[in-house]
Structure 1
Amino acid sequence: MPPESTTSAPITIALVDDYDVVVKGVANMLDPYRDRVLVAELDSTMPVEDAVDIVLYDSFAQPESDHEEIGVLVANPRARRVVVYTWNFHSDLVESARRHGAQGYLSKTLPARELVAALEAVHAGEVVISDVAARARSAPGLDWPGRGEGLSDREAEILALITQGKSNADIARLTYLSPNTVKSYIRTIYRKLGVGSRTQAVLWGVNHGFTPDHHRIEHWRGGP
């Protein structure tokens, strides 16, 4: 059971990413803690409309090395605080996010209870940056395109970027992975999908939810 609420009213959250399945996974993971953290809206390539305490910006298949989107969210008067939710803890990315005004940089490996506690700390005025020593599995409950077909979270992200038309060099730059690591991921993706070319991989991605979504889900499960 989730711990008892320590606040008189739950923190309101907007979840932001280009993929519905990604933000829905986060919302589902947070649902047992809705007495402490209440999801107000889920946004896929749409601006935040509700006034919320925290915008949780999921970095899945987003341009991690270009934090302009974080700046846009920080500048939105409806967003009191902005927190990045990511797998990638390269020091340059953390520094860039902080420079653009993010008050938190949280790991997708955090169990739900620790994620909620971190969001409460940010809401209380702290700057919270997860201490991540090494790449680990995502927290239980998260979702991403292709998970049901056996793609790992990072493989799915690489395929999403391929489906968006990014080159290997683009992907390496955006994810802070080496070109050889990107090539290795792509080989594994091709093998898992049973495809032999980039064109076939893109077609598979288009047919399996790897193109960005474009809408808002308001009032998630009776939220504000």
Structure 2
Amino acid sequence: MTAVHIALVNDYEVVARGVVGMLRTYQNRVRVVELDLNKRVDERVDIALYDTFAGTQGDRAAIAQLTSNPAVRAVVVYSWNLDPTHIATVLNNGADGYISKGLPASQLVKALEAIYAGTERVHTGGVSIPTIIGGDWPGREEGLTEREAEVLALITQGLSNVEIAQRTHLSINSIKTYIRSCYRTIGVASRTNAVLWGIEHGFRPDRLRIEHPEPSPGTAEITVNA
């Protein structure tokens, strides 16, 4: 069976590379051929996998732009948000599939293959609240959860609590809870210091196309167009 060719769409290199790391032993079935950090997908791909970390949740313009790209055969949203109403909105917005970030690598590969084959569209793992199994995000090594890291990334970008709630589809109270736990973890007491910490620890989006060396044996193949 021919490998499914994937473009990873995310503004953060560490997040995109975390997904590449998850898929590294499955490159005979799923091959990452392009990383797109806030750039248009250039290479023809079977699936554009849109990671929602610190981005819109797939129900707005980002997905519409991907679905209108003739180089992309199918668009799949990769998210922790498993609300059925939200998922339906994303699919109605033009996405071809929706996958939970809580899936282990083997199930992620099966989900991508099923969506590519057109046999299924939604893969949540059968749970309402995902457990993060693989991947990576800024601040993980400092003890931040993915949710805390995402909120901090949005704070670092200058978004208010209301804007963060709208972006993440979380309540204001949930945002405040994540902010408090985040502040405790990184040892700051103010938003200003949190922003400074975020800037120093890679929480600003990577906005330039990155160059990659030739992949070593056993790793996912990555090709970046100029």
Matched with 1:104 is 97
The unaligned stretches of length 5 or more in structure 2 are 216-220
Single out whichever of 84-93 and 20-29 deviates more from structure 2: 84-93
1:41 positional shift = 0.6
- Whole-Å separation in 2 of the counterparts to 1:125 and 1:65: 20
* CA RMSD, Structure 1 to Structure 2 (Å): 1.6
Please, what TM-score do these two structures have when normalized by structure 1? 0.91
Say yes or no: does 1:188 pair with 2:175. no
How big is each residue's C-alpha offset from its partner over 1:104-146, in whole Å with a ceiling of 9 and x where there is no partner?
A: 1000111111110111111112342123432232123x00000
The normalised TM-score by structure 2 is 0.90
Give the aligned residue type for 1:207.
E
Which of 105, 128, 131 is the aligned partner of 1:137? 131
The alpha carbon displacement at 1:200 in A equals: 0.4
Q: Aligned-pair distance for 1:97?
A: 1.3
Q: State which of 185, 191, 198 in structure 1 corresponds to 2:191.
A: 198
Matched residue pairs, number? 216
Matched, 1:94 2:87: yes
Q: Is residue 85 from structure 1 mapped to residue 84 from structure 2 by the alignment?
A: no
Q: Which residue number corresponds to residue 11 of structure 1?
A: 4
Identity fraction in percent: 50
Q: Name the CA distance, whole Å, in 2 between partners of 1:120 and 1:42.
A: 19
Supply the distance in 2 between the matched residues of 1:118 and 1:53 (Cα, whole angstroms): 13
Structure 1 residue 163: Cα displacement: 0.6
CA–CA separation in structure 2 for the residues paired with 1:11 and 1:217:
22
Q: Which residue of 2 aligns with 1:58?
A: 51
On the 8 A contact 1:103/1:127 being kept in 2, the answer is no
Whether the aligned pair in 2 keeps the contact of 1:67 and 1:96 (CA below 8 Å) is: no
**8 Å contact kept, 2:82–2:128:** no
Structure 2 CA distance for partners of 1:215 and 1:157, relative to 1, 3 Å: same
Q: How many Å apart are 1:217 and its aligned residue?
A: 4.3
Q: Which residue of the partner structure matches residue 164 of structure 1?
A: 157
Matched, 1:22 2:42: no
Q: Is the 8 A contact 1:19 1:213 kept in 2?
A: yes
Once residues 177 and 108 of structure 1 are traced to their aligned partners in structure 2, the CA distance between those partners, rounded to angstroms, is 17
